[in-house]
């Protein structure tokens, strides 16, 4: 079997046993990127020399008998929103084109310390604002299942790299669904950890109270292995949780045995109903039957304030965007357009040239929501709704161990179909936004293909704060059962 078709766990085992060298693994994936990324455009930057140098170091350590991490030598694709001292960090924006940060993000540093080979930086919606990766200043990423369709967003590059077998692991960020929705539409696994579970130091901020880095992979076990590498307390991040990392690898291995007896699975009433593609709805219904066959008790729960989640989110997020992106002022780093006699004129010209339309739209929305006379009516009220949504989750988790819903209301839609219709685009995150507002954990696992178009559908599994272990257990059990019956999902266009 080609090295690019192995799971991260399988590849790590072969590297540790010296059956395969880390350099061979890195080169195989670099070759795969060269072969298909012209069509997929998952990567913004490929760090060939650094990747091979890291892999060679791992091989030396393996030969010397040095104790290494469980993913040492395994290649990974890193979303271009994490700072990397040896590669550009653009956030998909012209305003940071070519910028090389002076430091590594904590996630980047932990990946390096674990011996993971970072292949390069992946494409994304500009500053993580979007659901299709069409808002990248460097052109859209294409879905390996159908190159005319979107790979989700904002982390479409990371998800597409996985689906196209360009990397066995990836890192994304999730502000309102940007890990989970791309996972759903590319047939991969994506996890949003508990807010504060993975350090945000060096993650270029979109909305600070919502952003969360997390693992992306092709299997639940691979995601769990990566989760344990990047998670944990970081004193450099004031919102980092100083608690032990949940034992997600153990939970995934237990779950893969296929027994969910004694677990209660809650179906969120408000995340169903109209608006879902028939194939998505049918796949979700089949997923519930599968969970019951695995021994879980399926119950309905109500989260009445979820219907206000999107409205609250699109006040809170733009407000934080308006504040966070004020730092891109042409004075300290990044793009500078020297037009005008004053600093204000240079700043205005730079921001006009450097930011794309979606970023500008959200900055304007947020600045308005925070303006004098409107703060309490908009931002303040949205924060109150956020509290009510958190209470809904608490009540639901008193009745169920995990909650489930479809991850996204549709399969991957054609490129260009919604790019000029912001409201239609925002609806893609209908089911994923509530977890970000409450800070709880969520994951998307493949639940099969939609009957009408043959494209992947995702099952969303949500768990309480720091409840990732039960989430991984359910995800692994579901994955093992579905794969045994239907086989692994393989994208047809570039994955031959």
3-305+387-486 domain in CATH 3.30.540.10? no
pLDDT classification of 10: cutoffs 50, 70, 90? very high
Q: What percent of the chain has pLDDT over 70?
A: 99
pLDDT classification of 275: cutoffs 50, 70, 90? confident
pLDDT classification of 349: cutoffs 50, 70, 90? very high
Predicted pLDDT of residue 320: 97
Q: Name the residue among 473, 415, 463, 10 with its Cα closest to residue 195.
A: 463
pLDDT classification of 421: cutoffs 50, 70, 90? confident
Is the pLDDT score of 1 beyond 80? no
Predicted pLDDT of residue 415: 97
Q: Tell me: the pLDDT tens digits for 18-63?
A: 999 999 999 999 999 999 999 999 999 999 999 999 999 999 999 9
CA torsion sign for 398, 403, 409, 414 is positive
The arithmetic mean of pLDDT across residues 169-179, rounded, is 98
Q: Which two tokens stand for residue 51?
A: 């990747």
The arithmetic mean of pLDDT across residues 240-266, rounded, is 97
CA torsion sign for 12, 18, 19, 20 is positive
Predicted pLDDT of residue 496: 52
Predicted pLDDT of residue 493: 65
The arithmetic mean of pLDDT across residues 357-382, rounded, is 93
Q: Residue 443 and residue 88: Cα distance in Å, rounded?
A: 29
Predicted pLDDT of residue 3: 96
Beta strands in 373-469 (DSSP E): 402-406, 441-449, 456-463
Q: SS3 of 381, please?
A: helix
Catalytic residue positions?
A: 79, 154, 178
Predicted pLDDT of residue 340: 78
Residue 96: which residues within 8 A CB-CB, separation 6 or more? 88, 89, 90, 328, 333, 334, 335
**What rounded mean pLDDT belongs to the chain?**
96
Q: Label residue 205 left, alpha or beta by phi (over 0 means left) and psi (-120 to 50 means alpha).
A: beta
Predicted pLDDT of residue 424: 85
The arithmetic mean of pLDDT across residues 59-70, rounded, is 96
Q: Tell me: the pLDDT tens digits for 281-316?
A: 999 999 999 999 999 999 999 999 999 999 999 999
401, 469 Cβ separation under 8 angstroms: no
Is the pLDDT score of 332 beyond 90? no
Helix (H) or strand (E) holding 25: helix 22-40
Q: Which two tokens stand for residue 133?
A: 């990766």
The arithmetic mean of pLDDT across residues 142-167, rounded, is 97
Is the pLDDT score of 381 beyond 80? yes
Q: Is the peptide bond before 154 cis (omega within 30 degrees of 0)?
A: yes
The arithmetic mean of pLDDT across residues 314-343, rounded, is 92
């Amino acid at each position: 079997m080609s090295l690019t078709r192995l799971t991260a766990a399988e590849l790590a085992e072969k590297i540790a046993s010296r059956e395969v060298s880390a350099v061979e693994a890195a080169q195989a994936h670099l070759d795969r990127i060269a072969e298909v990324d012209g069509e997929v455009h998952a990567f913004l930057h490929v760090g060939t020399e650094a990747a091979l140098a890291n892999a060679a170091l791992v091989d030396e350590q393996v030969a010397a008998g040095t104790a290494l991490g469980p993913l040492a030598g395994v290649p990974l694709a890193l979303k271009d929103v994490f700072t990397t001292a040896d590669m550009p960090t653009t956030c998909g924006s012209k305003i940071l084109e070519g910028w090389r940060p002076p430091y590594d993000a904590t996630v980047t540093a932990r990946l390096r310390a674990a011996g993971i080979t970072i292949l390069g930086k992946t494409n994304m919606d500009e500053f993580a604002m979007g659901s299709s990766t069409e808002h990248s200043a460097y052109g859209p990423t294409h879905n390996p299942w159908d190159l005319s369709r979107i790979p989700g967003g904002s982390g479409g590059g990371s998800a597409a790299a996985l689906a196209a077998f360009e990397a066995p692991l990836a890192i994304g960020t999730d502000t309102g669904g940007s890990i989970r929705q791309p996972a759903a539409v590319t047939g991969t696994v994506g996890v949003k950890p508990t807010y504060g579970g993975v350090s945000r130091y060096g993650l270029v901020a979109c909305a600070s109270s919502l952003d969360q880095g997390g693992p992306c992979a092709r299997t639940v076990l691979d995601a769990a292995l990566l989760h344990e590498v990047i998670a944990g307390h970081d004193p450099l991040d004031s919102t980092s949780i100083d608690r032990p990392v949940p034992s997600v690898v153990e939970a995934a291995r237990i779950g893969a045995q296929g027994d969910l007896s004694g677990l209660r699975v809650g179906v969120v009433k408000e995340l169903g109903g109209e608006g879902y593609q028939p194939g998505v709805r049918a796949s979700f219904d089949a997923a519930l039957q599968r969970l019951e066959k695995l021994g879980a008790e399926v119950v309905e729960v109500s989260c009445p304030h979820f219907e206000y989640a999107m409205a609250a989110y699109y006040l809170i997020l733009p407000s934080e965007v308006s504040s966070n992106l004020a730092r891109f002022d042409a004075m300290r780093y990044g793009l500078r357009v020297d037009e005008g006699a004053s600093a204000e004129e240079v700043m205005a010209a730079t921001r006009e040239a450097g930011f794309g339309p979606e970023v500008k739209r959200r900055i304007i929305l947020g600045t308005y929501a925070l303006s004098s006379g409107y703060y309490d009516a908009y931002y303040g009220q949205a924060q109150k709704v956020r509290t009510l949504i958190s209470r809904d989750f608490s009540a639901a988790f008193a009745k169920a161990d995990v909650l489930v819903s479809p991850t996204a209301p549709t399969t991957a839609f054609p490129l260009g179909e919604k790019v000029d219709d912001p409201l239609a685009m925002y609806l893609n995150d209908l089911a994923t936004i509530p977890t970000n507002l409450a800070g709880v954990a969520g994951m998307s696992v493949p639940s099969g293909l939609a009957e009408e178009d043959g494209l992947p559908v995702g099952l969303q599994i949500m768990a309480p704060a720091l409840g990732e272990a039960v989430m991984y257990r359910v995800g692994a059990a579901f994955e093992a059962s579905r794969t045994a019956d239907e086989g692994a999902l393989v994208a047809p266009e570039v994955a031959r």
